[in-house]
Structures are given as structure tokens and as C-alpha cells.
Structure 1
């Protein structure tokens, strides 16, 4: 199985690095939500989780998806095999993004997969570092799903690498704590996932967490009626209600978390976080 991709590593990865550096500076200058914990502590915690997970992404997931695409391309196999040229690339890009919307929904609906995805959600703040805070088990579990989706679609192999760069860039963008001008973001989220939109997904209110599953294009949430924009950022508490103790954010504990008994969705005092439902779910609030 091929694991070296010169353009991906020499062009795509440096571009992602530049984008991440820019977001790191900008989110410090234009903060969207007030932090609850020291940034330095969270960088160590999230960086430690990422250090285990990112090699699995680069050495297993990316090669696995590329190999699945090459297999399908050689056999003229897949939903899009009949499409010519740019049609295959354009529709392929859209459908790859749709399959990742479905994967994200599955991460929340499956008790087994949630054990791993929960490591991402119990972060008590949300910023750029959260974009790489995924348990290695989640990345490994995504290999058969995402590779299978690539094969069934029959997308061109080069598109897999291009999409992954955009996927990672958008993941970094919408996890960032960057405060965009409200009028700009109000229009931007009609097309793509933005920091305010994804911030709602990380709320301790269950119905808010179970919304806004899209990765790049926000249209998938509109299509499936899982879009929620009507929660002001200052009212959001980031995290999972049953994991509010900063001491539980230690990297070793985070790596062990999927193999421990999962707690009910409630605060330490036993109450379940709720919020009065506002009208116009599709209206982005500041």
C-alpha cells in the first residue's frame, strides 16, 4: 500500500501549517468565547492526544482511502464511475463531504464510537487545538468507513488527497475560537461550517450537541434538519456535562476514557442542562 504522497506532504501539509499558524494568531487577537482554562495546559493535553492520533491519520487513514480509490478506479467501480472528467471530481468532492457528515452523526449515535469521540467533546474550551484532539481509536475506526465510502463512490484517487487537505483546513477553521465579523459569518455559514456554528455543536445542552454535524458544507445539516444557529455564543458552555473536572483532562486519562464506564449526560449535581428553545433555528445569533 502506497504511503508516500509527495504533493500531499510537500504542498498540502505546509499549506495546512501556514493556515493553522494564522488561525492560532488570529484567535488570540479576536477571541470569540471567553476561555475557562489556561491555554498552555490545554495545548499540552490536546497536543499529547494528537501526537498519538495524527500518525494513525497519516499512516493508516490517508493511505487506506487512497488505496481504496485506486482499487475502484482500476476496476471502473463505484457510483461515479460513469461520470466524465470534472463532473466526477466536483460531485465526488460533494459526496465525500456528505459521507463525512454521516460518519459524524454515527459517532454520536453509536454507543461504541461515542466512547472514542467523547474524548474530543469533553474539552472544556474550544479552539484550534481542539481540531486535532481526537482519540487514536477514533482515527483507526474511521479507516474502514471512510475507505469504504471512497470505494463505493469511485472517486478519483488524486481527489482523495485534495479533499483531505481541505477537510483538515476546514476542521481547523471551525474549531478555532476566531471571532469573525458577525455580518460576514452570517452569510458564510449559509455555505460552510463556521466557528459560531460549530461552537453550538460543542455545547453541554444535548440537543445542541446533536446538531451541526457538517464538516465543510453546512448544507448537509440543512438537508437533514440538524442545523441549529440560534444560540448566542456567550450563553454556550463548552464540553460534556458529566466531565467538568479539569483534573480529568490529563492525557493518560483521556487515552483511557473510551475503556471506562461512560457517564450519563448530566451535571455532577444530577441536573440535565437545558435551554429554553428560541425561535428560528436557522438564524445565526452573535
Structure 2
């Protein structure tokens, strides 16, 4: 199985590093939501968790996706090799369908009680910014291999496209997790096509129906297609996190690594109340 990808490592990864650094600077200057915890503390917590998960992403998931893509094309397996499309159309169609597969995977992590145990580690962050984009449990990365690999095989996408998609996927993940306040009119138009910080901020709300919305990763139209889109929540009224996990002392690396293997708490605050919110406008109208 091929593990080293020169273009990805020498071009894609540095570009992602520059993008992350730029977003860190911009979100500090143009803050969208009020912070609740010290920034440096969170960077250390999220960075330490990412350090345990990123090797699995780079050394297992990416090679598995690349190898599966090469196998499917070589054996004329999957959808795209069977379509008589020009190469550019195959790449464009494949890119869009890879993103649809990740929409389905994200939704499955919320619907499956087993997968949620791992994805919950990402959601109990008490603030939302660029560092949250890489705050994932290593078990989630392992669990994603069969599903995402299966999508690649069924589509029969070219292997180089898998690498290109992953760079865009990671860049968009960093962007929509950021705490960057974009001009409202600009973001209102952007979120018709791609996932934006305001849109994804709603997905990290402690109100459960808001968490169970906005599953898209790059293109926002999957939420529109499946009626899981929700934009009608004011950003300053959002409490980030999961209601039963609001204690900052539970944000340590050791606790986060153990969390999937412990009994999961009910979706309620420590006092037993379930967070709710009155809907102000139709779901598809972005509120500042």
C-alpha cells in the first residue's frame, strides 16, 4: 500500500498550514462568537488530541482511500469507469459525489449510537474555532476507513482526485469551523454553495435539533436536498458544545480519549433541563 504522496505532502500540506495560520489570525481580528475559555488552553487541548488522531488520518485513511481508488479504476469497478464521460467531467462528477459520501458519513455519525461515542469528542469542545477542525478521536478516523473506502470503490474515482479532494476537504473543514465573522451579505450568498462559519456554528449548538442539522462538509446543497439545513439561529445566542459535557475540567486529553468507552450522558444540562429555542424565521434564512 502506497503511503508517501509527494504532491500531497510537499504542496497540499503546506497550503493547508498557511490557510490554518491565516484563519487563526483573521478569526482573532474578526471574532464571530464570544469565547468562553482561554484560547491557549484550548489550542493545547485540541492540539494534543489532534496529535493522536492525525497520524491515523495520514498513514491509514489516506493510503487506504488512494489504494482503493487505484484498485477500482484498474478493475473497472464502480460508477465512473462505466460512464462515457470526458476526463474533466469524470473528475468534476467524482469530486461532487465524494462530498456527498462525506455528508452521509457525517449524518451516520450522529444517527449511530456507537459512532456518536467517538464523534461526541469533537462536539464537546466548549468553543468553536480553527483548532476544532482537527479535534477528532483517533477511533473516529479508524471507523471512517470502511465507509469512506467503500464510497471511493463504488464511485471508481481516479486516485489523484482522492488526494485533491482531501486537500479541499481539510481546507473547507478549517474554514467552516473557524470563528471568523464574514460580512453578513457575503456569507448569505456563500452559504448557498458552501458551508460557512455561521452555518456550521449552528451544527455545534447544545440545542439538539440544531446539532442534528447542517451535516455538509464542502457543498451546502446536500443539506438543502435532504432538508437538514438550518440557518435561522442568531450566532450570539448559540452555546457551543453538548449540554451534559459543559465542565472545562473534562477537556483533558486522557478524558477525551476515554470518553467513547464510557456511558454516554443524556442530552440535558446538569440540572436536568433540555436546551430548546423558539424558531424565529424559516430554517433557510441566515440570521447574523
TM-score normalised according to structure 1 size = 0.99
Pick which of 162-171 and 143-152 moved more.
Answer: 143-152
Where structure 1 has 5 or more consecutive residues not aligned to the other structure, the ranges are none
Deviation at 1:82, TM superposition (A): 2.3
2:16 alignment counterpart: 16
The answer as to 2:8 corresponding to 1:3 is no
Q: Distance in 1 between matches of 2:91 and 2:171?
A: 19
Q: Distance in 2 between matches of 1:153 and 1:82?
A: 10
1:261 alignment counterpart: 263
1:72-221 matched pairs, under 5 angstroms: 72-83=72-83, 84=85, 85-221=87-223
Deviation at 1:278, TM superposition (A): 2.2
RMSD: 0.5
- How far does the alpha carbon of each residue in 1:171-218 deviate from its partner, in whole angstroms, 9 at most, with x for none? 000000000000000000000000000000000000000000000000
Deviation at 1:143, TM superposition (A): 0.8
Structure 1 runs of 4+ off > 6 angstroms? none
1:275 alignment counterpart: 277
Q: Distance in 2 between matches of 1:134 and 1:56?
A: 11
Q: Distance in 2 between matches of 1:21 and 1:249?
A: 23
Deviation at 1:255, TM superposition (A): 0.5
1:35 alignment counterpart: 35
Q: Distance in 1 between matches of 2:23 and 2:246?
A: 27
SS in 2 for 1:81: helix
The answer as to 2:56 corresponding to 1:56 is yes
Q: Distance in 2 between matches of 1:90 and 1:117?
A: 29
Of 241, 244, 252, 1:242 maps to 244
SS in 1 for 2:82: coil
Q: Distance in 1 between matches of 2:124 and 2:270?
A: 14
Q: Distance in 2 between matches of 1:151 and 1:2?
A: 17
Q: Distance in 2 between matches of 1:215 and 1:192?
A: 8
Deviation at 1:89, TM superposition (A): 0.3
Count of aligned pairs: 286
Q: Distance in 2 between matches of 1:250 and 1:167?
A: 27
SS in 2 for 1:54: helix
Where structure 2 has 5 or more consecutive residues not aligned to the other structure, the ranges are none
